[in-house]
Structure 1
Amino acid sequence: MAQDCEQIEDESDEVRFSLTAEAGLNDGLAFPFVYAAIYLATLGGVQQWGLKWVAWEVVGRTVIGVVVGMAVGWLLAKIAFRAPTSVRASELGDPLFVVVVPFVAYAAGELAHGWGFLSVFVCAMTLRHADRGHDYHDSMHGVIERLERLFTLVVLLLLGAALTNGLLGSLTWGAVGFGLLLVFVIRPVVAWIALGRSRSPDHVLDGQLGPRERIVAAFFGVRGVGSIYYIAYATSKHSFPQERLLWSALAFTIVLSVVVHGLTATPAMRWLERVRPS
């Protein structure tokens, strides 16, 4: 989702950071709700599984994911910045070290029965806070950003191929309406409220969003590529009665988000640039 703001080169830009952090948190915290859908379909009413779901899926596995992510991030930070010079990643200057970070964190989180995606996010934040001023962070960020763009391109190409094979064949007007509501109403309004009010001016790096930054951060960020994995995971656990409709609705929403946000990203950034201090 940070691609929507790639026009902004300043890595400390509040909008860019907000969208990137939100993307990581979305991936990390979505799985409890995927399991809620699975339980609802397989176990019946909430009264049958609600307490267990809150205690384990929401609280237990989230805590484990956070703890594992912090531990792995701390360990990898030691290897990157505190290990003997001969094996210290930051001294060797190979930014590909960062490629192993998500795999190690995810595997450790899942092996500990926590949320792997959440472990990856927390691990990345922990690693980022180690020697924040070190140039090695810029090198790692460059590699991750290029890989993110590459993987997103591959996924979108596969999605495009699926569209030509009838992925939208089960789309209904109700699903179209839901996709439109999600992109143009639900996401912007909920995010705008969640970001809270701020008296901070735009482009003042004080950890808060200004009025225009808040609007831009609220509008962008749907895309929903990660939802492909969530639906694939859920449907592998249970056969849902309207599975094809789910896929059609998801595909429509992703395409709508890519088109709308792709066309509006540059004008939105220019709108923000008008109040950027010279």
Structure 2
Amino acid sequence: MVALLVLTSLLLLWSLVSDRLPRWSVTAPITFAAAGTLFSGGDVPLVRLDVDTHTFQLAIELVLAVMLFTDATEARDYVRLRGPVGEVRLLGIALPASIGLAVLAGAVIFQGTGWWLLAVVALVVMPMDLAPVLMLLRDRRVPLRVRAALNIEGGFNDGLISPLFVFCVANIVSAEGDSFTDLVLSALKGAVFATVVGTALGYPASRLVRWAKESGWAEPAGLRFAGLALPFLTYAASVLLGGNGFVAAFVAGLWYANTVAVAGDALDLVHDTSHLMALAAWYAFGALATEAFADGISFGIVAYAALVLTVARFVPVVASLTGTPFSPVERAVIGWFGPRGVTSIVFAVLAYIEMPEGEANFVVKVTAATVLLSVVLHGVTAEPVARWFARRPQPGQPDATQPSKA
């Protein structure tokens, strides 16, 4: 009952100032991570969290699945761009290069650490997640193609990384790892199954929602519930069939956005639920970070976190987008805004559960340092960047002359 009182009071207080505080660069992830540290950290927490349970693991994974679905629904605005937004370069060139740089940085800073463990750490901390700067994704002061590039990258990178993450963890927890062929087959299986499930469920469900909407068989509240049910449905079905539940939820979101032709408040419920679930994940992260840093933090971990947030992402992204229609400023903004959040938290929790204690604690410490630094750096710079674009509209953008927030 104490936990319910504390968490609902926190939610109420944040709701009352949720528009004002972000203007001062105090974002929701910063607030709830701090609350998790305050109320659930330490030796005698006011609200105790048990992160070792299967329920906690499932809850964290569902947070990510719903967030990916809502990210995908944003794609309905991107048709106005009438062309690619650098997603192939970001996912096919920048992402592998960033992971490689992160592994090399770890080898230099954490000398003597095994390559498999360095790979796990890199795969945990490199996936971007826009939760720390969610307001940026819907801020029309920021050019549409910039938001589209970030959203599509954020929607797909964790699905591409997850098979590699599972493979690297398996090589640590067992003496015999899968072969490269097994890895490729497993990755293809997960991606194919997820795409099939996301399409097989997402498309007909979206058609039914559209039919119910146009025929008047469903009231607005019912349509909102249908949008909320779909990411849970596709995630569960994909996992049961051996596919990647995250990718399936994202694919279903793409079908929903392009089939239902959503308008008005049709997606308000799933967006609000996604936001609420993400806040819960950030609260839990605050408690985990406190435990991870109970015996201090080394300079090497801080240095590594700074490198993967800046050089390891910025250089590959800017280089890969060279020669595209993006302006130098837009390339720099995309390179800078690679925030780490719920995706990294999910992978870190999975590593914590699966790996031996020593390696697991190392992964959690590095993840905690990286995510906390990202929350601060990206959280405090999101609003200034949006204001900069508002003062200097970029030519050729569909919403360049619309400075108001979505």
TM-score interval (norm. to shorter)? 0.7 to 0.9
1:5 aligns with 2:116: no
Does the C-alpha gap of structure 1 residues 131 and 98 become closer, same or farther in structure 2, counting only changes over 3 Å? closer
Aligned ranges 1:115-264 → 2 under 5 Å? 115-132=244-261, 134-135=262-263, 138-167=264-293, 169=295, 171-198=297-324, 200=325, 209-239=326-356, 241-264=358-381
Cα offset, 1:43, TM superposition: 4.3
Cα offset, 1:165, TM superposition: 4.1
Does the C-alpha gap of structure 1 residues 74 and 12 become closer, same or farther in structure 2, counting only changes over 3 Å? farther
Give secondary structure in 2 for the equivalent of 1:74: helix
Query: In structure 2, what is the equivalent of residue 42 of structure 1?
Result: 173
Query: In structure 2, what is the equivalent of residue 114 of structure 1?
Result: 243
Cα offset, 1:102, TM superposition: 1.1
Does the C-alpha gap of structure 1 residues 152 and 41 become closer, same or farther in structure 2, counting only changes over 3 Å? same
Question: What does the per-residue CA deviation read over 1:34-64, in whole Å, with 9 as the maximum and x for residues that have no partner?
Answer: 2121222134576x522111112x2121111
Alpha-carbon contact 2:159-2:246 (below 8 Å) kept: yes
Alpha-carbon contact 1:65-1:109 (below 8 Å) kept: yes
Does the C-alpha gap of structure 1 residues 215 and 45 become closer, same or farther in structure 2, counting only changes over 3 Å? farther
Does the C-alpha gap of structure 1 residues 213 and 140 become closer, same or farther in structure 2, counting only changes over 3 Å? farther
Question: What does the per-residue CA deviation read over 1:201-247, in whole Å, with 9 as the maximum and x for residues that have no partner?
Answer: xxxxxxxx433222212211322322222122233333253221211
Query: In structure 2, what is the equivalent of residue 52 of structure 1?
Result: 182
Cα offset, 1:196, TM superposition: 4.5
Alpha-carbon contact 1:79-1:88 (below 8 Å) kept: no
The whole-number CA distance in structure 2 between the counterparts of 1:144 and 1:10 is 24
Cα offset, 1:10, TM superposition: 7.1
Alpha-carbon contact 1:64-1:115 (below 8 Å) kept: yes
Alpha-carbon contact 1:105-1:119 (below 8 Å) kept: yes
Structure 2 unaligned residues grouped into runs of 5+: 1-129, 394-399, 402-406
Does the C-alpha gap of structure 1 residues 241 and 164 become closer, same or farther in structure 2, counting only changes over 3 Å? closer
Query: In structure 1, what is the equivalent of residue 163 of structure 2?
Result: 32
Alpha-carbon contact 2:199-2:255 (below 8 Å) kept: yes
Alpha-carbon contact 2:141-2:389 (below 8 Å) kept: no
The whole-number CA distance in structure 1 between the counterparts of 2:233 and 2:138 is 31
Cα offset, 1:186, TM superposition: 0.9
> Which TM-score applies when normalising by structure 1?
0.83
Cα offset, 1:270, TM superposition: 1.9
Please point out which of 132, 145, 153 is paired with 1:22.
153
* Structure having greater relative contact order (Cα 8 Å, sep ≥ 6): 2
Cα offset, 1:9, TM superposition: 3.2
Alpha-carbon contact 2:235-2:249 (below 8 Å) kept: yes
Letter in 1 for 2:374: S
RMSD of aligned residue pairs (Cα, Å):
2.7
The whole-number CA distance in structure 1 between the counterparts of 2:141 and 2:386 is 12
> Which TM-score applies when normalising by structure 2?
0.58
Cα offset, 1:168, TM superposition: 5.4
Letter in 2 for 1:157: Y
The whole-number CA distance in structure 2 between the counterparts of 1:140 and 1:179 is 39
Question: What does the per-residue CA deviation read over 1:120-143, in whole Å, with 9 as the maximum and x for residues that have no partner?
Answer: 1111011111143x42xx424433
Letter in 2 for 1:34: F
The whole-number CA distance in structure 2 between the counterparts of 1:156 and 1:246 is 17
Structure 1 unaligned residues grouped into runs of 5+: 201-208
Cα offset, 1:116, TM superposition: 0.7
The whole-number CA distance in structure 2 between the counterparts of 1:166 and 1:67 is 39
Letter in 2 for 1:117: F
Does the C-alpha gap of structure 1 residues 12 and 146 become closer, same or farther in structure 2, counting only changes over 3 Å? farther
Cα offset, 1:264, TM superposition: 0.7
Query: In structure 2, what is the equivalent of residue 63 of structure 1?
Result: 192
Question: What does the per-residue CA deviation read over 1:8-29, in whole Å, with 9 as the maximum and x for residues that have no partner?
Answer: 2379822222222222112322
Alpha-carbon contact 2:206-2:259 (below 8 Å) kept: yes
Cα offset, 1:156, TM superposition: 2.0
Corresponding pairs, count: 263
1:72 aligns with 2:198: no
Question: What does the per-residue CA deviation read over 1:172-218, in whole Å, with 9 as the maximum and x for residues that have no partner?
Answer: 222211100011111222222344432x3xxxxxxxx4332222122
Question: What does the per-residue CA deviation read over 1:75-133, in whole Å, with 9 as the maximum and x for residues that have no partner?
Answer: 211221024835447x666423221121011011112211110101111011111143x
